[in-house]
Amino acid sequence: MAVVETKIEEGVGVVTINRPEALNAINSDVMEGLLQAVAAFDADDAIGCIVLTGAGDKAFVAGADIKEMASKSYMEMYLDDRQSGWEVFANTRKPMVAAVNGFALGGGCEIAMMCDFIIASDKAKFGQPEIKLGVIPGWGGTQRLAKAVGKAKAMDLILTGRMMDAAEAERAGLVARIVQHENLMDEAMAAAKAIAGFGRPSVMLAKEAVNRAFETTLAEGIHFERRAFYSLFATDDQKEGMAAFAEKRAPEFKNR
Ligand code: CAA
């Protein structure tokens, strides 16, 4: 069994981290498989949305593999610079939905935050427990968690290492919605299939525009959005989407 499994369903690329015996902890093999799988779906014209989840009933991802990291030296970490691989993952152009089915801790919480939104099972638990290991989050957690939930809760979670349940994560704005554990994949797939069914140009520009909000000033962000909005009037999908509305029929987007 591969440590990262993929399948395609109605335009959705599903990536499952499959190492349940270690609560899907990310070792080098998993990281390589995950980065490859996501990059391949991102480049595939047939894919409109990606769903990321963890195998088994207990964990999404319980973090980077502690046992693999334990004996590393500073120089090994610095020269290897494996973490920089996440830059590509986080810059995926197709939307990515994290279907969080259990523990999302450390690197697991960070990977979920690199996705565009999180749908959580009511059994999900989130946290950045690195402080308990004598380190700090290393895959963007101090930055993305602070942006997602604000300074107070980010400090609370990162400095105490405590976990929060799905309800607290939703109240804090980390999670888009909570669903019953047994319905998680159905709900995540329904959302992803809906996204994959829309016109690719508008979906990709919508993602890009929302992400601008985290990188620039309000005035620049609004300027970016307006330019992107106007540009969509050069697409066939805009003509089709608006004509279909007026003709009271379902649109047939061609991603052009
Ligand atoms: N790395 C390596 N192995 C892990 C792991 C991890 N992050 N998390 C769990 N495992 C392994 C356990 O060692 C155990 O393996 P064995 O059966 O061989 O002993 C197996 O998965 C099952 O785990 P537990 O027996 O611990 O399960 P539990 O239900 O008692 O506890 C848990 C669950 C609270 C999630 C606990 O496993 C835990 O605390 N895991 C570590 C969480 C963590 O600290 N994550 C941060 C990692 S550092 C990081 O991610 C840095 C970064 O920013 C990139």
Condensed to tens digits (0 to 9), the pLDDT of residues 180-207 reads: 999 999 999 999 999 999 999 999 999 9
The pTM score is 0.97
pLDDT value for 91: 96
Condensed to tens digits (0 to 9), the pLDDT of residues 144-160 reads: 999 999 999 999 999 99
Residue 227 CB burial class (10 angstroms; 0-12, 13-18, ≥19): exposed
Q: Rounded to the nearest 5°, which phi and psi values hold at 71?
A: -100, 5
DSSP per-residue letters across 50-73: EEEEESSSSEEE--B-HHHHTT--
Active-site residues, by number, are 64, 107, 110, 130
Condensed to tens digits (0 to 9), the pLDDT of residues 16-61 reads: 999 999 999 999 999 999 999 999 999 999 999 999 999 999 999 9
d(CA 108, CA 177): 18
Residue 170 Cβ contacting ligand 1 at under 6 Å: no
What is the CA(64)–ligand 1 centre distance, in A? 9
Q: Whose CA is nearest to atom 4 of ligand 1?
A: 22
8 Å CB contact between 93 and 204 = yes
